[in-house]
Chains A and B, each alone.
Chain A
């Protein structure tokens, strides 16, 4: 038996999250077969074939799979499910959209957002926004899983698996893609960046976020924000780090003007080194920070920019 792993991609490049999911899958036992489904994903399939530990890549090219729509993708995965006892995907918005649908179609529970693999049927996952860690054992015949990228390293690219083209299954015709509104940015993607600098409510305005942007550009960092900053309209929602946003675990996380609400900590506390800059010395963010600086951010950020 083997693991079927759904590749995450944009039809041009493979998402880093997939390489991390491969590392988790390798701990479940058995061969790893990667499914690349997309409108034109040949290059992505070739890239996936190099992932260490992958023994086969299934490539399904069809316009129906071009936009990660859950209904056709779930039907494709279910059609392949018979050969596998683990079906895994990254816990990205795409993976979280399709995998519970796959699980229900197979009459299985989904095991969402795992952060550890104890054995082929026992997994660790955060609950209560990361305030507790649950170890759960599945009694289902097939384990349907999404994997938290921040908890696993990327797999090496030293493999050479065979790529097999497979046909599409009938499109259920339940959904239609209209458009993507993707924010164009030259900065690295938030969830895979080595350095992340985030601003909170203390930034005071959207204009002031430029102070964060400038430091980010010096560091080659991604820019994030707390939910409070997003709710106040200082930053767009896809910047949001936290329980209700993205979970990040960079080498360096710099929190500026962020108090450190539980909901934010849930999204960044696995970062290797955490720096907090806040003028309130009582702010809870200092309890998780490796380096804390009590300072006015409007003074500290320009200084930081010039010191780098």
Chain B
């Protein structure tokens, strides 16, 4: 079975986010970019399925700027077999909306016919948590979102989902879309020899039009601001003083 893993190039999760003075967005110039952490977990899961003999080929795809190639090479170095870059925008600050991404991915799924699509539950930049569900809807497939456990048997996937209050286990037929949560696995680091080998793995460059899709925006960004800052608090010297202040000053006890 072939697995498709979409990956997104986003601001590195360790980088402090700075809002631009003109309120047009977040400053992404000369900022370290990395693979979205949830997508790393998706790549890792695909590799583990391949190592277990349940998957034969892993195709990774990224939709964004030309530089997303770096993210794809990283996935190839981890163990994916080949990559597709869909060059959808020129400016890194032009985020491609999940609906557009899902439409492009549908075109790729129609062409590649994977048995499974595994992706991160959410990108840590726009925090939409939407693309997997949207792709599943456009394909008319089942969706197994926020997965922290996965068992593949012939023609179906048993998915343990992280839900409010605990876990939910569902069984869905394949092909399907899975979106992964943090606890599913711990992604590996690419070794240096594998990074070298990844440079020779195939990487195709495509355009949205190749899949009959166009990049359109349904949401206009009016402005992006800093979140309201909390005013500085006070330090207390003892537990007794703390309890006293919570009772009398803050009135929350």
> Which residues of A pack against B, CB within 8 Å?
67-71, 74, 92-94, 96-105, 107-113, 122, 125-140, 172, 174-183, 189, 191, 195, 219, 227, 237-238, 243-244, 246, 251-252, 262-263, 269, 272-275, 286-295, 300, 303-304, 307-308
Contact = CB atoms under 8 A, between A and B. Distances in A.
Contacts of B168: 67-68, 177, 179-181
Given A132-B26, A292-B234, 17 more contacts: A93-B146, A100-B132, A100-B133, A107-B99, A109-B218, A110-B134, A112-B127, A113-B129, A126-B227, A127-B224, A131-B227, A132-B224, A135-B224, A175-B143, A191-B164, A273-B246, A291-B235
Given A133-B226, A176-B170, A286-B235, A304 B242 contact: yes
B245 A291 contact: yes
Given A100-B133, A304-B243, A307-B240, A132 B227 contact: yes
Contacts of B169: 177-181
Given A103-B99, A307-B240, A129 B127 contact: yes
Nearest to A113: B127
B61 to A, nearest CB: 18
Nearest to B163: A93
Contacts of A133: 224-227
Given A175-B171, A176-B172, A291 B236 contact: yes
Interface in B155-192: 158, 160-173, 181-183
A73 to B, nearest CB: 11
Given A109-B98, A293-B236, A307-B239, A252 B219 contact: no
Interface string B118-140: 00000011111111111111101
Of B99, B137, B237, chain A has the most CB atoms within 10 Å of the CB of B137
B218 A94 contact: no
Contact of B246 (A136, A183, A275): A275
Contact of A130 (B227, B243, B246): B227
B182 A244 contact: yes
24 contacts: A69-B170, A70-B133, A71-B142, A93-B146, A94-B164, A107-B99, A108-B99, A108-B218, A109-B219, A112-B130, A113-B129, A134-B221, A135-B224, A138-B218, A174-B172, A176-B171, A179-B169, A181-B166, A182-B166, A219-B253, A238-B164, A246-B164, A252-B246, A287-B232
Closest 9 CB pairs of A and B: A100-B133, A100-B130, A104-B134, A104-B137, A109-B218, A182-B166, A290-B233, A131-B17, A178-B169
> Is the interface on chain B under 10, 10 to 19, 20 to 34, or 35 or more residues?
35 or more
Q: Interface SS of chain A: helix, strand, loop or mixed?
A: mixed
B70 to A, nearest CB: 20
B252 A138 contact: no
B145 A70 contact: yes
A148 B170 CA distance: 26
Contact of B221 (A136, A177, A272, A308): A136
Contacts of B137: 74, 100-102, 104-105
B220 A180 contact: no
B243 A104 contact: no
B29 interface: no
B102 interface: yes
A109 B97 contact: yes
A270 to B, nearest CB: 9
Contacts of B150: none
B37 to A, nearest CB: 9
Contacts of B232: 287
Nearest to A305: B239
Given A180-B166, A294-B235, A137 B220 contact: yes
Given A104-B137, A176-B171, A252-B252, A109 B99 contact: yes
B34 interface: no
A307 B244 CA distance: 10
A127 B134 contact: no
Of B11, B97, B143, B226, chain A has the most CB atoms within 10 Å of the CB of B143
Interface in B14-38: 16-17, 19, 26
A263 to B, nearest CB: 8
B148 interface: yes
A175 B137 CA distance: 13
Contacts of A244: 181-182
A291 B164 contact: no
Of A71, A74, A96, A180, chain B has the most CB atoms within 10 Å of the CB of A96
Given A130-B227, A286-B235, A178 B243 contact: no
